[in-house]
Structure 1
Amino acid sequence: MKTSTSTPRPLDLIDLDTVLSESEKAVRDAVNQVCRRSVLPYVADWFERGELPAVRELAKEFGAMGLLGMHLDGYGCAGMSAVDYGLACLELEAADSGIRSLVSVQGSLAMFAIWRWGTEEHKQEWLPRMAAGEAIGCFGLTEPDHGSDPSNMRTRARRVGSDWVLDGAKMWITNGSIADVAVVWANAGAENGGIRGFVVPTDTPGFAAVDIKHKMSLRASVTSELTFDDVRLPAAAVFPDVRGLKGPLSCLNEARFGIVWGAMGAARSAFDAAVTYATQRHQFGRPIAGFQLTQAKLAQMNAELSNGMLLALHLGRLKDRCGLRPDQVSIGKLNNVTKALEICRTARTILGANGISLEFPVMRHANNLESVLTYEGTVEMHTLVVGQALTGQSAFR
């Protein structure tokens, strides 16, 4: 029987590093370094101001690293593994959920939609520039009145001669007002295949994007409302080979996979802050880390962080080997986001009043995770996806 002689490390008590390859650790470390250099010194200020002023510069820096669409092949994309992409999302969200959203929406929603469903012309026109960070994309699915039920979307596409004309609105769209291209899903009517996807250059007449203000979450992120007023597009703008919800849901599953990892990055950051604070904060003549109640909190937080990381890694290995079913992605998002939020809330109690200060990352992560909890599938929707997989019975209606 072998016994490990390694020294315990609070951020990796189960020695997860030992099952990562050297190239995987190199990807993780490279993203960690760029976040330390270009995000962490500024993100608390961005969050407080409710701005992401360096978004174009960040996109180009991430593009130069190969982070944008990194799990896609060809067209300037890096063609890396699902685990590589997951580790990148982990480090990006350890910096801030808004930064991970920038990369996730670019690569897993807008770029993946074009890569998977677009024509060769779409791919050649947009993917190389998007991979380099020279063009930014957004993904228009959610509407002001329809989030969890996109089948009833009100945005319409109609045929006018050989052209398409879009009318409607999309809400809570990351990157919306800074995007050069929008992937937009609209109801074209039963006679035209139902829900269809369109590649919409944002300089098209009738397209408008307005930033959403007064957010208390994802403040270091560009979030917009999109409107379409007689937006006329050529016939070639439509995705030719996908109809119905299969198109947008395939993209969402790609992005949700990144969230499975990213949420653990936010949790790790909050846990790290709690451990450091507990060893430095003295009460009653000793560090609060020496009290049983504090140690109980830290032990439970670490257990949930370790479990979430193991789940993310398993799903990543599975995705690389044979792909993932939607219910497997739902299990990952449901578990890891809820547990990450619990970790952040518990970390806040260890920091006491300091836990609400932007001098520490804890409340910023907790606030951000409140958005991550409900975007790209609410807790309720993912619970029902898992429930249907378990019972064979649909309970959505």
Structure 2
Amino acid sequence: MSTDITSMDDLPTADFYAYESLLPDEERKILLKARDLVRDGIRPLVRDSWAEGELPAELIDALRGSGLSALAYEGYGEHPGAVSHLLGGMLALELSRTDASVATFFGVHDGLAFASIHHGGSQEQRDRWLPRMATMDTIGAFALTEPEGGSDVAAGMRTTARREGDTWVLDGAKKWIGNATFADVVVVWARDVEDDQVKGFVVEKGTAGFEPVKIEGKIALRIVQNAEITLTGVRVPEANRLQNVDSFRDVAEILRMTRSGVAWQSLGLMIGAYELALDYAKERVAFGRPIARFQLVQDLLVKSLGNITACWGMLVQLARLQDAGVFQDEHSSLAKAFVTARMREVVAWCREIFGGNGILLDHDIARFFADSEALYSYEGTREMNTLIVGKAITGQSAFV
């Protein structure tokens, strides 16, 4: 491990306790490569893309050529073995530090969609789809949430699957499905009408009856191409049903793994907001001096850094639990609930430092402020994750 700290000079300003030094040297090289990619290939694109609500091909191309996809899965990414959860988290942080939409696009493909096939599919299915998903020549999406069902979708999933010989017929609707307007494969979750259990199906682009429509008018994650999907008699072969998924418990296992990724994204978002505010405070002059010299501005910056440092420590330990194979639902739920709440505080304090300029897209902080609301809500609301932790610590379920 690269734990001998001889200088803080090559660490990000927000890494006040040198958490990056916990990465082995080889993994830190991967992180630095990602940082260069984000700076040179992604950051120049995000402001205009966010304003226009579009995901440019150049942005996907930058990620496609990065070698960052599938690093968490042994045998698929460019790294000889699966990287640590700590590096995986810091890579999510690095993307979100520049733009949460980019991190979300990547997380949907590399996390939710890839993980669904990797953990829920047969070896034949993994061999069929995952190599091209690892190179991002095939882009994936994950369709769980429904127009009338969010956190309660497990108990009230309305999308149905009906078997006819070697074919399944899917009917229903999904909403808020990232990447779905252009994805090559979409993992659709549906309730089997025969046994009332949730099953997973890989629906390939162009399948008849599968109609994704882009959701317009979003004030957050505007680069993410979210869709509302209508499924009308969508016929999927048995060969496209995920063979190792038998119930919603298997879906929950995938969500448990990816929920911690949202916590890392949220940490990245608050770091990005803090860095913008710190730079602005040093440059903005009021009453004849930089506002960084004002006590109240320093108070906002220090409170922000405190939240960042505390959340980073929590997520480092969560990654250690994941690497040890002992983490549970409640661990990722506490991280998601706590970190997103602290993120909300930080982006509000950082936007405040900008004053009136804080609502202008030209200064980027408005983008971070808006995007924080989406991260606060998705992958389980704070309330739902609180109840998961509450059940774990009291032994009593408060779910209705």
What's the TM-score bracket when you normalise by the shorter of the two chains? over 0.9
The secondary structure found in structure 2 opposite 1:373 is helix
- Equivalent-residue separation in structure 2 for 1:5 and 1:215 (angstroms): 43
The secondary structure found in structure 1 opposite 2:54 is coil
In the alignment, which residue of structure 2 is the partner of 1:19? Answer: 22
Counterpart selection for 1:331 from 325, 329, 334: 334
- 1:71 and 2:72 correspond: yes
- Equivalent-residue separation in structure 1 for 2:137 and 2:21 (angstroms): 37
The secondary structure found in structure 2 opposite 1:73 is coil
Structure 1, unaligned runs of 5 or more = none
- Equivalent-residue separation in structure 2 for 1:210 and 1:356 (angstroms): 29
Letter of the 1:384 partner, please give it.
Answer: L
Counterpart selection for 2:119 from 116, 119, 125: 116
**Shift, 1:84, TM fit:** 1.5
Letter of the 2:165 partner, please give it.
Answer: G
In the alignment, which residue of structure 1 is the partner of 2:290? Answer: 287
- Equivalent-residue separation in structure 1 for 2:13 and 2:185 (angstroms): 43
Counterpart selection for 2:280 from 258, 263, 277: 277
- 1:202 and 2:185 correspond: no
Counterpart selection for 2:179 from 170, 175, 179: 175
Decide whether the 8 Å contact of 1:69 with 1:106 is kept in 2. Answer: no
In the alignment, which residue of structure 2 is the partner of 1:395? Answer: 398
- Equivalent-residue separation in structure 2 for 1:61 and 1:278 (angstroms): 32
TM-score, normalisation: structure 2 = 0.93
- Equivalent-residue separation in structure 2 for 1:125 and 1:75 (angstroms): 12
Letter of the 1:158 partner, please give it.
Answer: R
The secondary structure found in structure 2 opposite 1:176 is coil
**Shift, 1:6, TM fit:** 6.2
Decide whether the 8 Å contact of 2:149 with 2:157 is kept in 1. Answer: yes
**Shift, 1:75, TM fit:** 4.0
- Equivalent-residue separation in structure 1 for 2:238 and 2:13 (angstroms): 56
Letter of the 1:155 partner, please give it.
Answer: T
Moved more, 85-94 or 14-23: 14-23
- 1:157 and 2:161 correspond: yes
**Shift, 1:5, TM fit:** 8.8
Decide whether the 8 Å contact of 1:196 with 1:239 is kept in 2. Answer: yes
Counterpart selection for 2:46 from 40, 43, 47: 43
Letter of the 1:187 partner, please give it.
Answer: R
**Shift, 1:92, TM fit:** 0.5
- Equivalent-residue separation in structure 2 for 1:120 and 1:59 (angstroms): 28
Letter of the 1:349 partner, please give it.
Answer: E
- Equivalent-residue separation in structure 1 for 2:360 and 2:24 (angstroms): 37
- Equivalent-residue separation in structure 1 for 2:103 and 2:206 (angstroms): 26
In the alignment, which residue of structure 1 is the partner of 2:3? Answer: none
Decide whether the 8 Å contact of 1:60 with 1:134 is kept in 2. Answer: no
**Shift, 1:77, TM fit:** 6.3
- Equivalent-residue separation in structure 1 for 2:136 and 2:7 (angstroms): 45
The secondary structure found in structure 2 opposite 1:359 is helix
The secondary structure found in structure 1 opposite 2:43 is coil
- Equivalent-residue separation in structure 1 for 2:325 and 2:188 (angstroms): 29
TM-score, normalisation: structure 1 = 0.94
Moved more, 234-243 or 324-333: 234-243
**Shift, 1:193, TM fit:** 5.5
Misfit runs of 4+, over 6 Å: 4-9
**Shift, 1:222, TM fit:** 0.9
- 1:381 and 2:384 correspond: yes
In the alignment, which residue of structure 2 is the partner of 1:301? Answer: 304
In the alignment, which residue of structure 1 is the partner of 2:215? Answer: 212
Correspondences of 1:179-198 after superposition (within 5 Å): 179-189=183-193, 191-192=194-195, 194-198=197-201
The secondary structure found in structure 1 opposite 2:363 is coil
Give me the CA root mean square deviation: 1.9
- 1:266 and 2:269 correspond: yes
In the alignment, which residue of structure 2 is the partner of 1:52? Answer: 55
Correspondences of 1:236-275 after superposition (within 5 Å): 236-275=239-278
The secondary structure found in structure 1 opposite 2:72 is coil
- 1:233 and 2:236 correspond: yes
Moved more, 301-310 or 4-13: 4-13
Structure 2, unaligned runs of 5 or more = 1-5
Decide whether the 8 Å contact of 1:268 with 1:305 is kept in 2. Answer: yes
The secondary structure found in structure 1 opposite 2:151 is coil
CA deviations over 1:300-341 (Å, ceiling 9, x no partner): 111001011111111112211224211100111111111112
Letter of the 1:164 partner, please give it.
Answer: W
The secondary structure found in structure 1 opposite 2:280 is helix
Correspondences of 1:313-392 after superposition (within 5 Å): 313-392=316-395
Cα 1:292–1:282 shift into 2, 3 Å: same
Counterpart selection for 1:128 from 105, 127, 131: 131
- 1:312 and 2:310 correspond: no
- Equivalent-residue separation in structure 2 for 1:98 and 1:282 (angstroms): 32
Identity value in percent: 37
Letter of the 1:281 partner, please give it.
Answer: R
Decide whether the 8 Å contact of 1:89 with 1:262 is kept in 2. Answer: yes
The secondary structure found in structure 2 opposite 1:317 is helix
Letter of the 1:356 partner, please give it.
Answer: I
- Equivalent-residue separation in structure 1 for 2:179 and 2:326 (angstroms): 28
- Equivalent-residue separation in structure 1 for 2:236 and 2:284 (angstroms): 61
The secondary structure found in structure 2 opposite 1:324 is coil
